[in-house]
Structure formats: C-alpha cells, structure tokens
C-alpha cells in the first residue's frame, strides 16, 4: 500500500499505547494507597466510633478498584475492537472505491487524448462517476489551448481542486523514478479528510504516459454511521461492565467485611472482659484462618485469666481460712484473758505482782490480735466481694455522737453537725468509717479533732480535720494502702495498718469516697462523701421488709453484711448495761 | 426463774468450751456443757436450763438444726455463737429461731451481757392485759392467747410483742426495738428485729404473708395496729 496510510496507522498505534500507560500507573498508585491505609487502619481499630467509617471507606475503595479494573479492561477491549473494526470497514470500502476509480481512470480517462477539451473532460468525469460507487470525479488536464481544463462530475456541491489537500496533489503529480521496485512513475494516492463532521475519502492519480489527472471524493458517511453505532454499543457494554463490577465489588466487600465486622465485634466483647467470646469458623480462607487465630488467642487468654483468678482466689481463700481458723483459739484465749483481767482488777487479787506486767502484756496483745484478725476478715470479705450492706435510716449527727461517745472521744472531738440530716446507709459500716477516721486523726493529729457534716445535693459530706502536722506529701497517696505506716520509726502499736483501707472499702461499698488532703490552715483533712441513699447498690428495694413476704426467703438470700463489720476501732464490749464507762480507745494503749 | 440462771453451752472445741465455761461461771452463771448437738439435746431434756449458748459449727447435726429441733418443743432463749461470721450464717441462724447471736472471738463480758438481756425478757413487769382483735396479751401471766388458744412464744418474741403493744398504733424503729428488746447498743443488727418480727407474725397473724396486726412502716420500722 501507500506510505501515508502506513504512517497514519503507526500514529494510531502509538496513541493507543499512550492511553494504556497512565491507566496502569493509576492502579498501581491505588494499591499503594490501600496498603498505607490498611496500616493506618490498625491504629483506628481502637477508636470504635470510627469503625463504621473505616468499613465504609474500605468498601468504597474496593468498589473503586473494581470499577477501575473493569473500566481499564472494557475500554481497552472495546477500543481495540473499535479500531480493528474501523480499519476493516474503512479499508474494505475504500479498496472497493479505489479499485473502481482506478478502473475508470484506465478505461475512460486513459481513452482521452493527451489534451482533451473541457467538454470531453466533463463528459468523461460524468461517465466515471456514474458507477456503482457514487463518487465524484474531478479530472484535470491541459486542453489543446494549453490552458488547464477541469471536468467534474456533478454532485458533492462542486468538487473542485480546492477540496483536494495540497500534499495529496503534490504526491499525485510527483513523478517518481522508474526502478525495478517501482514500475510506474505515478501512483494512486488517497487520503481521508473530515469536512464539517463528515468523513471523506479523497484519492488522486495520473494517467501514465500523459493524460488527465483524476481526483475522486467519496463520502464515508455510511461507514462512519456504522462505526458510530458500533462505538455506542461498545460504550454501553463498557458502562454495563462498570455497573456489574461495582455490584461485584459490593458483594465481594460484603463477604470480606462481614467477617471483619464480626471479628471487630468479638474483639470488642473480648476487651470488655467476656472471655468466652468465640467466632464461628466457616470455610478455609484467610478470614477463617484469622477467626481461628482469634479463637485460639481468646482461649489462651481465658485460660490465663482463669489460672490467675484461681491462684488469686486460692491465696485469698487461704487468708480467709487462716483468719477463720485463728478465731477459734482466739475465742478461747480472749475468754480466759478476761478472767485474768478481772483477777488483776480485783483489790488484792491473786496475781503475783512480779508477773503482773506479763499478764497485762498478754491481755493487751490478745486484743491487738483480735483486732487484727477482725480487720483481716473484713478485708477478705471485701476482696471476695461478699461484703454486703445492711441499710437503715440513720440520723448522721446521732450516729457520729454515738460513735464518739461509745469510744469516750467526746472531749476530744468538736462536732459541727445539725441533727435531722438523714441518710439511708449501713450504720455499722458508717461507724467503722467514722471510728477509723476520727481514731486516726486523734492518733496522728491530736485533739481537738473537728468533724463537720454538710449536705450536698444527694450526698452527705463529712470532714474530719485534725490539728496535727498534716500528712507529708509523699505519704498522701499511700494513706489508704494496706499496712502502710506513715512513719517507719513507730511501726507497731499504731493499729492494725488496715484501718483507713477498710474505711475506704466501706465508703466504696456505699458508692462513696474518702479523700485525704492537708488543710491550708494546717492539719490533715479526710473528706468522706456518701450518697444519701445507698439502696440502689444493694440490688434490692429500699425497704428490706416486704410485709412478711420475705418470711421464707431470707434464708436463701445472700443477704446482708457481716454481723459485725467491726474492723477497726470497735468499742469492744458494746454491752448495754455492764460496760458503760468502757468506750475504749481503739489502740487500747491503756492496760 | 431461778436466782442463778443455768446455762447450757454446746460447743465442740475443747479450748473454747473450757474458756467460756470458766468465764461464764465467774460471771455468776451455772454452766453445763455439751460437746455435740446430740449431747446437747439430751442434756436439754435432763437439765431444763434457762438458756442455751449454741455454737453453729458442730460435728454431726449443726447448730442450726439443733436450734430448729429445740424450737419444735421449747421456747427457751437461744444465743448463737458463730465463728464463721458469714452473713448467711446469721440469717439462717435467726431463721431457725435463735434469739440473738455473738460472733467469735467473743468476749465473756459481751456474752454475759447478752445472756442477761435475753433472760430479762421473760421477767414480768405489769399486771394489765391488752386485746388486739382475737389476740389477748396477758401481761400478768406473761401469756398470749389467740382465739382462746395459748400461743407458744419465746421470751424475745413475747418481749417484742409487749413493747409493740405498749405503744399501739405508734411506729417503732428497728434501732428502738433493738434497744428495748435486745438491749443492744446503737450498732445493733436490725436483722434481729426483722427475723423476730417474721417469727412473731407466723404465730399471731391469721395470714403471716399479709399481716394485719404487726405492720411494716416504710422507712421507719414496725407498728402494732388494733384491727379495724
């Protein structure tokens, strides 16, 4: 074929490759971006609120990727199909036209004289154009008078030499050397042009051995229309492929994301402490693998936690059992100690003055031991979570007065409280808290200790302030720690070391709080906050008595607190009639 | 009541039994001891003590069961000695009919005070009687009859009924009742009152689950109402 044709095709191929490249690069970028975001997604996992957003964006990304792949595939496939078709259709049409034109040129224009007249040219052109191919013909020759004569067939609105592109004219009129490879000096050249949106085929050649130059133009509109409709259907097919790929991506995203979502939910449950959370493993894909890994991890975790809990439980059990066991000998010792004590107090008692200090020591240390065991039992009850509230309506001021009265602290404590402030709480536990706070204040701060009661919304605020040196800053965070002694120089005879810790636990079980601080005016301040009504915490109605309906039920209830959450400065013999003067100091330093 | 009250101490631990016997004897009680529930029940029949001090954890039949068996026939006061101060023990003990409880390690003086308080409940004081519907409380004879039938009340139940009947229509708080009946201090266990009220209701009310005589006053305590 001819050279312009070849060069044209080459250019098309080149353009095709160019359009292919950027699409590939785009997909690459997309994948890179995805891995980046997946990395980031791990960070997001913690933020539950964003998880939905994350899922949707992953879904979006999947859809976009699928769509891009589909688009690339469809566009390149239909593009290739289009161009191949186009070439096939156009080539066939133009080959037929050109063959005809060549034929006509040989038969009719070749029959013309070397210098035909205008009329002859006109007629021959008309004859040439009357063939089956419906092209217009323009013949150019030199008439006998030496002028350039033109002969055109009708149609196509006056086909003139102006309509023939100059390069084509030049090519047609260029005489080539006749060689072995090139048998004739002139060739048939053609070119496709577009004029006002309509494609035309323009071709031209010269009759060899002198004669007119013939040009033809043929509208390629029918072919263009065919190709247009082909392009449309390919476009529609591409669109359908896009939609299909989006739907597919959606489905794929769902199959991937649903297990991921399930995994997320399970992980959250696990984090909330529901260690028996397991995933249903279905299939053999990576997600099933992940589920299996999750299950294994959860199982291992559950086992570990159970082991630790069991060990913890065992050691607590041991302390609880131990303190229980200590009680039996202690009961016997305590009873006998009292006999000894009475003997001591008797005028001219039968105790040898030499061993009197020994007896006193036994008595006081037995009491200490009693307190310690009592506190230990109380602590184990809190640790085991078996401590319960026995609620009653309490007048706070009365309770505080009774508490300090029973321990003979009336002279050492200034009470600033109005009567009539009522709260629903466990009077024994309140007593334990107060006795520990006030006892502690007396011990470390010295009298006077000031106790004030204020009401605040649905809270009762009790402040215990002493006039001592205050609590050192480094000790402040530890005052509620078990067995934490403020001063290493007096490790003993300062109580059990559990008092404030028990007070705090007792406040907590009411839903309250105790804070320790130093007053700007000097001295330590312990602030106790208790809710006005703690019945919400006991899990039963505010009134524990339901008009006899509990008659048979009480026995089964895990009800109520220890009979004596005494734990701490307990006025040991709370005997009503006998021991009136005996509100003891918690430390029992007398003896 | 004999001038020197006689007690029966049922306790399986030798050391505690000996020590408490020593201590209580010094406080002026006559003390008999038993090492098991079975022995205790036998001695109860033989000696007719005024009061029983009963350990909860006993070999063989436990303290609760002993308490229940005693209550089937006798209304004498029972004080429980609980070593396991688990809450459930106290509640079960009060359910099975104990009048009071003491937690180990108990001090002799505390136990003595409780014993004396319980024994005082049976003492007469006035000579009138009161009628609440079909319930007749004879304070002179210390008896309560319902529809002419004698009711078997423990001294504690009787004392509770007397204290309530002395102030008919007036609500008494649990803490007040603890002081009046049990002679406990300000930290008395209000469950003693609740358990005793339940037992009393079971005896005096027509339908114990919907009482018409001993009414609960929400947020306060209990009240004895003359029936309308």
Lowest mean per-residue pLDDT among A26-40, A161-175, A245-259, A481-495: A26-40
DSSP state letters, A340-404: HHHHHHSTT-SS-TTTHHHHHHHHHHHHHHHHHHHHHHHHHHHHHT------EEEEHHHHHHHHH
Asked whether residue B207 carries a pLDDT value surpassing 60, the answer given is: yes
Token pair, residue A482, equals 């078990």
If you average pLDDT over every residue of chain A, what do you get?
76
Q: Structure tokens of B24?
A: 């209580």
Task: Tell me what pLDDT residue B84 has.
Answer: 58
Label residue A526 by pLDDT band (50, 70, 90): very high
Count CB neighbours of B136 within 10 A.
Answer: 16
**Contacting residues of A for B175, CB less than 8 Å apart:** 392, 427
pLDDT confidence bin for A583, thresholds 50/70/90: very low
Predicted confidence (pLDDT) at residue A10 exceeds the cutoff of 70: no
Report domain extents, chain A. 3-230, 299-386, 387-541+558-591
Assess contact for A573 and B110: CB atoms under 8 A.
Answer: yes
The domain A3-230: what is its CATH number?
A: 3.30.450.20
pTM here?
A: 0.57
Residues 39-98 of A with CB under 8 A from B: none
How far apart are alpha carbons A335 and B106 in whole angstroms? Answer: 7
Task: Return the minimum-mean-pLDDT range out of A73-77, A80-84, A332-336, A548-552.
Answer: A548-552
Query: Of A424, A538, A563, A581, which to mutate for an interface test with B (greatest number of B Cβ within 10 Å)?
Result: A563
Q: Considering only CA atoms, which of A511, A532, A563 is closest in space to residue A390?
A: A563
Distance CA A62, CA A463 (A): 63
Residues of B in contact with A320 (CB under 8 A): none
The confidence band for B87, taking pLDDT boundaries of 50, 70 and 90, is low
Residue A474's pLDDT band (cuts 50, 70, 90): confident
Task: Measure the CA–CA gap between B55 and B102, rounded to whole angstroms.
Answer: 10
Looking at the DSSP assignment, which residues form a beta bridge with residue B132?
B135
**What is the phi/psi pair of residue A194, to 5°?**
-120, 125
For chain A, what is the largest distance between any 2 Cα atoms, rounded to a whole number of angstroms?
Answer: 175
Q: What is the pLDDT of residue A311?
A: 92
Q: What are phi and psi of B120, to 5 degrees?
A: -65, -25
Inter-chain CB proximity B19 and A330 less than 8 Å: no
User: CA A503, CA A496: separation in Å to the nearest integer?
Assistant: 13
Nearest to B105 among A327, A543, A547 (CB): A327
Band (B148; pLDDT cuts 50, 70, 90): confident
Q: What is the mean pLDDT of residues A147-155?
A: 74
CB atoms inside a 10 Å sphere around CB A483: 9
Shortest Cα distance, chain A CAs vs residue B177, angstroms: 13
Q: Does A540 score more than 80 pLDDT?
A: no
Residue A78: pLDDT over 50: yes
Cα–Cα distances (Å) from A29 to A19, A68, A84, A497, A575, in that order, read: 17, 12, 31, 67, 86
**Using an 8 Å Cβ cutoff, are B101 and B84 in contact?**
no
pLDDT digits (tens, 9 = 90+) for A96-106: 888 888 888 88
- A504-528 average pLDDT score: 90
* Phi/psi at A200 (5° precision): -130, 155
Dihedral of CA atoms A255, A259, A265, A269 in degrees, nearest 10, equals 170
Q: For tokens 């000579």, name the residue.
A: B127
A327, B26: Cβ pair inside 8 Å?
no
At residue A534, does pLDDT exceed 60? Answer: yes
Confidence tier at A348 by pLDDT (50, 70, 90): low
Query: A556 versus B134: which is more confidently predicted?
Result: B134
**pLDDT at position A514, please?**
93
Residue A14 has pLDDT above 70, yes or no: no
Chain A residues with CB-CB distance to B83 below 8 A = 324, 327-328, 331
Q: Does A546 touch chain B (CB under 8 A)?
A: yes
Residue A577 has pLDDT above 60, yes or no: no
Question: Could you say which of B15, B23, B88 has the minimum Cβ distance to residue A339?
Answer: B23
B218: its two tokens? 């929400």
What 3-state DSSP class applies to A25?
helix
- Dist CA A495 CA A567 (whole Å): 11
Q: What would the DSSP string read from start to end of A421-456? A: -EEEE-HHHHHHHHHHHHHHHHHHT-SPEEEEEEEE
- Cis ω on the peptide bond leading into residue A407 (within 30° of 0)? no
A387-541+558-591: CATH topology: Heat Shock Protein 90 (3.30.565)
Query: What does the alpha-carbon distance between residue A55 and residue A191 come to, in Å, rounded to a whole number?
Result: 57
Facing A393 at nearest CB: one of B194, B210, B219? B219
Q: Tell if the CB–CB gap between B186 and A402 is shorter than 8 Å.
A: yes
pLDDT higher than 90, residue B132: no
Which of A548, A557, A573 has the CB atom closest to B201's CB atom?
A: A548
Residue closest to A204 by CA, chosen among A174, A239, A249:
A174
Is there a shared CATH topology between the A299-386 domain and the A387-541+558-591 domain?
no
Domains of chain B (ranges; CATH) run: 6-120 (3.40.50.2300), 129-224 (1.10.10.10)
Which of residues 314 through 353 in chain A touch B, CB cutoff 8 A? 324, 327-336, 338-339, 342
DSSP bridge pairs for A464: A451, A526
Please determine, for residue A570, whether its predicted confidence score (pLDDT) is greater than 70.
no
A26: left (phi > 0), else alpha (psi -120 to 50), else beta?
alpha
* Residue range B13-72, pLDDT digits in tens: 898 899 999 999 988 899 999 999 999 999 999 988 999 999 988 888 988 999 999 988
Could you read off the pLDDT of A182-209 as tens digits, one per residue?
777 788 888 888 888 788 888 888 877 7
Is the pLDDT assigned to residue B188 strictly greater than 90?
Answer: no
Rounded-to-integer distance, Cα A530 and Cα A539, Å: 17
- State residue B67's pLDDT score: 92
Is residue B78 scored above 90 in pLDDT?
A: yes
Rounded to the nearest 10 degrees, the angle between the axes of helix A286-345 and helix B14-26 is 40
pLDDT at B136 over 70: yes
List pLDDT tens digits, range A227-275. Answer: 889 889 988 988 898 888 888 888 888 887 787 888 888 889 888 888 8
Q: Tell me: pLDDT of A20 over 70.
A: no
- Picking from A255, A256, A267, the residue whose alpha carbon sits closest to that of residue A42 is A267
CB proximity B59 to A under 8 Å: no
Are the beta carbons of A397 and A421 closer than 8 angstroms?
A: yes
CA atoms within 13 A on the CB side of A97: 28
User: Is the minimum CB–CB distance between B169 and chain A shorter than 8 Å?
Assistant: no
H/E stretch holding B130:
strand B129-132
Residue with tokens 């003997």: A343
Whether B60 and B10 have beta carbons less than 8 Å apart is answered as: no
Segment among A16-25, A363-372, A483-492, B201-210 with least mean pLDDT: A16-25
- The per-residue pLDDT for range A368-410, each reduced to its tens digit, is 888 888 888 888 888 877 777 888 888 899 889 988 888 888 8
Cα angle for residues A333, A334, A338 (degrees, 5° grid): 115
Of A338, A390, A576, the CB nearest to B185: A576
CATH architecture of A299-386: Orthogonal Bundle (1.10)
Check: CB of residue A573 under 8 Å from CB of residue A408.
no
Q: What is the pLDDT of residue B228?
A: 64
For B109, the closest chain A residue by CA position comes to A573
Q: Which pair of structure tokens corresponds to residue A283? A: 């299939």
How far is the C-alpha of A201 from the C-alpha of A207, rounded, in Å?
20
* Mean pLDDT, residues A414-435: 88
Which string of b and e fits A493-508 if b means at least 16 CB within 10 Å? Answer: ebbbbbbbbbbbbbbe
Per-chain mean pLDDT for chain B: 86
| For testing contact with chain A, the best of B68, B110, B186 (most A CBs within 10 A) | B186
Could you read off the pLDDT of A97-140 as tens digits, one per residue?
888 888 888 888 777 777 788 887 888 888 887 777 778 888 88
Of A338, A549, A562, the CB nearest to B108: A338
Taking the C-alpha atoms of residue A21 and residue A15, their distance in angstroms, rounded to an integer, is: 10
């Amino acid at each position: 074929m001819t050279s312009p044709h070849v060069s044209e095709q080459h250019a098309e191929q080149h353009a095709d490759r160019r359009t292919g490249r950027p699409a590939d690069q785009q997909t690459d970028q997309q994948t890179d971006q995805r891995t980046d975001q997946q990395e980031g997604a791990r960070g997001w996992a913690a933020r539950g609120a964003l998880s939905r957003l994350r899922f949707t964006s992953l879904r979006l990304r999947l859809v976009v990727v699928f769509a891009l792949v589909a688009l690339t595939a469809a566009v390149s496939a239909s593009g290739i199909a289009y161009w191949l078709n186009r070439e096939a259709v156009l080539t066939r049409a133009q080959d037929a036209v050109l063959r005809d034109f060549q034929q006509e040129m040989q038969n009719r224009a070749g029959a013309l004289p070397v210098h035909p007249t205008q009329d002859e040219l006109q007629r021959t052109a008309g004859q040439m154009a009357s063939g089956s191919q419906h092209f217009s013909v323009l013949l150019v020759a030199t008439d006998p008078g030496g002028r350039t004569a033109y002969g055109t067939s009708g149609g196509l609105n006056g086909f003139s030499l102006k309509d023939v592109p100059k390069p084509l004219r030049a090519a047609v009129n260029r005489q080539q050397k006749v060689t072995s490879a090139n048998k004739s000096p002139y060739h048939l050249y053609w070119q496709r042009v577009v004029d006002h949106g309509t494609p035309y085929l323009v071709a031209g050649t010269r009759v060899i051995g002198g004669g007119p130059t013939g040009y033809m133009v043929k509208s390629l509109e029918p072919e263009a229309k065919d190709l247009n409709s082909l392009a449309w259907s390919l476009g529609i097919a591409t669109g359908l492929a896009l939609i299909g790929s989006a739907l597919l991506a959606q489905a794929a995203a769902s199959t991937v994301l649903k297990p991921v979502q399930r995994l997320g939910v399970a992980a959250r449950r696990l984090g909330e402490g529901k260690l028996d959370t397991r995933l249903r493993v279905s299939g053999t894909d990576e997600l099933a693998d992940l589920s299996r890994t999750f299950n294994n991890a959860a199982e291992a975790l559950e086992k570990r936690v159970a082991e630790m809990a069991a060990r913890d439980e065992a050691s607590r059990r041991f302390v609880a059992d131990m303190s229980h066991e200590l009680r039996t000998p202690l009961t016997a010792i305590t009873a006998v100690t009292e006999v000894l004590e009475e003997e001591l107090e008797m005028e001219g008692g039968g105790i040898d003055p030499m061993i009197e200090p020994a007896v006193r020591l036994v008595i006081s240390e037995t009491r200490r031991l009693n307190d310690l065991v009592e506190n230990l039992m109380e602590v184990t009850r809190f640790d085991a979570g078996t401590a319960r509230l026995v609620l009653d309506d309490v007048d706070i001021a009365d309770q505080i007065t009774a508490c300090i009265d029973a321990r003979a602290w009336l002279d050492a404590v200034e009470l600033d409280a109005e009567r009539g402030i009522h709260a629903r709480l466990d009077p024994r536990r309140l007593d334990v808290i107060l006795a520990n706070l006030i006892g502690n204040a007396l011990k470390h701060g010295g009298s006077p200790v000031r106790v004030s009661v204020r009401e605040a919304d649905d809270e009762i605020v009790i402040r215990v302030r002493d006039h001592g040196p205050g609590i050192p800053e480094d000790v402040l965070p530890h005052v509620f720690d078990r067995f934490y002694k403020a001063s290493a120089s007096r490790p003993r005879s300062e109580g059990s070391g559990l008092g404030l810790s028990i007070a705090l636990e007792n406040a907590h079980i009411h839903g309250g709080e105790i804070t320790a601080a130093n007053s700007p005016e000097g001295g330590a301040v312990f602030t106790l906050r208790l809710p006005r009504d703690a019945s919400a915490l006991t899990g039963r109605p505010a009134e524990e008595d339901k008009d006899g309906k509990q008659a048979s039920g009480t026995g089964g209830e895990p009800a109520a607190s220890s009979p004596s959450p005494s734990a701490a400065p307990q006025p040991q013999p709370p005997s009503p009639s006998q021991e009136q003067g005996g509100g003891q100091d918690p430390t029992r330093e007398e003896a | 009541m004999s001038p020197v009250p006689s007690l029966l101490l049922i306790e399986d631990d030798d050391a505690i039994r000996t020590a408490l016997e020593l201590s209580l004897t010094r406080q002026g009680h006559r003390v008999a001891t038993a090492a098991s529930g079975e022995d205790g029940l036998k001695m109860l029949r033989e000696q007719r003590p005024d009061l029983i001090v009963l350990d909860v954890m006993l070999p063989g039949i436990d303290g609760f069961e002993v308490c229940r068996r005693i209550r089937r026939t006798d209304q004498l006061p029972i004080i429980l000695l609980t070593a396991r101060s688990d809450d459930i023990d106290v509640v079960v003990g009060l359910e099975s009919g104990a009048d009071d409880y003491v937690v180990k390690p108990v001090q002799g003086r505390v136990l003595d005070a409780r014993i004396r308080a319980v024994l005082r409940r049976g003492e007469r004081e006035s000579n009138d009687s009161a009628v609440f519907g079909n319930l007749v409380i004879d304070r002179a004879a210390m008896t309560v009859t319902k529809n002419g039938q004698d009711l078997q009340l423990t001294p504690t139940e009787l004392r509770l009924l007397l204290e309530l009947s002395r102030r008919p229509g007036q609500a008494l708080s649990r803490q007040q009742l603890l002081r009046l009946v049990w002679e406990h201090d300000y930290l008395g266990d209000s469950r003693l009152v609740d358990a005793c009220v339940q037992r009393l209701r079971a005896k005096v009310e027509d339908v114990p689950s919907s009482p018409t005589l001993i009414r609960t006053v929400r947020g306060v305590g209990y009240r004895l109402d003359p029936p309308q």
